[in-house]
């Protein structure tokens, strides 16, 4: 019984690490978007519509 409890606690590490990594990626993308210069934001906004 004790070995099973330890294994389940060890298994909990993977979803927690995945959540932390995904959160860091989204926070980094949000930070870059917030710090972007307005001229670069306008250029990227027009990018899909350019021929």
- Residues 9, 31: Cα–Cα separation, whole Å: 33
> Coil, strand, or helix at residue 12?
coil
Domain of residue 32 covers: 2-49
Domain count, the chain: 1
pLDDT digits (tens, 9 = 90+) for 29-40: 999 999 999 999
Helix 13-34 vs helix 2-11: angle between axes, to the nearest 10 degrees? 20
Quick one: pLDDT at residue 12? 79
Quick one: pLDDT at residue 1? 47
- Residues 15, 11: Cα–Cα separation, whole Å: 8
pLDDT digits (tens, 9 = 90+) for 1-34: 455 555 566 677 888 889 999 999 999 999 999 9
Predicted TM-score (pTM) above 0.85: no
Quick one: pLDDT at residue 47? 82
- Residues 21, 23: Cα–Cα separation, whole Å: 5
């Amino acid at each position: 019984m004790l070995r099973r409890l330890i294994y389940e606690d060890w298994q909990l590490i993977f979803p927690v690490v995945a959540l932390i990594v995904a959160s860091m990626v989204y926070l980094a993308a949000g930070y870059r978007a917030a710090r972007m210069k307005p001229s670069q934001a306008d250029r990227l906004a027009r990018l899909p519509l350019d021929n």
